């Protein structure tokens, strides 16, 4: 009885809020409503300048708070973006059911991967800056969430599967070149 009442209340709340916002609920069932309640409210940004800007903000925050925050080798926290590349994942690959094979989940629900080539003072070697290839990838999920990862999912895929053929995974690659290049002293901010 309680479950029935709760389901009715949930449906009534969803119906009233949906009607206020003009949603079509003609095909909705009670079985589908719990997913709506727990769904993330993030939105996927698809225009590249906004996508890269949001990814850059996450990259800078990760380097300032995690990388340089955990490692005190750098005086100013220098980080320079010298190249940006966006790799779009095929929707059919990202949306497929997981099979349990090694590396299978690396691109699950992924919209794209933004890889930055970075120079940093990670080792405290300024004025000589190095590409550590550490926390240089941002994964953008289909629900709009982003995640900074220490190792590119493509490199992880190769190390797990020993496969370098990404033709079934990659939709397209956009090489942005130096369009988003910038330098930051993260610890001085």
pLDDT tens, the chain, 189 aa long: 444 434 443 344 333 444 344 444 444 333 333 333 333 446 788 889 999 999 999 999 999 999 998 776 888 999 999 999 999 999 999 998 887 777 778 999 999 999 999 999 999 999 999 999 999 999 999 999 999 999 999 999 999 999 999 999 999 999 999 999 999 999 987
Q: What single-letter DSSP state applies at residue 97?
A: P
Provide the token pair at 14: 């969803």
Please state whether the peptide bond connecting residue 3 to the residue before it is cis, i.e. omega within 30 degrees of 0: no
Give the pTM: 0.75
3-state secondary structure of 164: coil
């Amino acid at each position: 009885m309680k479950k029935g009442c709760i389901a009715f209340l949930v449906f009534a709340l969803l119906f009233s809020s949906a009607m206020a916002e003009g949603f079509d609920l003609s095909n909705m069932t009670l079985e589908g409503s719990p997913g709506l309640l727990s769904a993330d409210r993030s939105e996927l940004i698809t225009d590249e300048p906004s996508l890269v800007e949001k990814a850059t903000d996450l990259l800078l925050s990760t380097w300032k708070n995690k990388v340089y925050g955990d490692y005190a080798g750098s005086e100013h926290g220098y980080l320079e973006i010298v190249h940006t590349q966006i790799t779009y994942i095929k929707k059919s690959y990202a949306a497929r059911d997981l099979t349990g094979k090694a590396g299978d989940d690396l691109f699950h629900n992924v919209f794209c991967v933004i890889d930055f080539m970075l120079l940093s003072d990670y080792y405290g070697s300024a004025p000589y800056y190095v590409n550590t290839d550490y926390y240089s990838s941002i994964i953008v999920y289909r629900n709009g969430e982003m995640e900074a990862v220490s190792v590119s999912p493509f490199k992880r895929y190769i190390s797990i599967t020993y496969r370098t053929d990404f033709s079934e995974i990659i939709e397209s690659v956009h090489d942005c070149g130096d369009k988003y290049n910038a330098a930051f002293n993260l610890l001085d901010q």
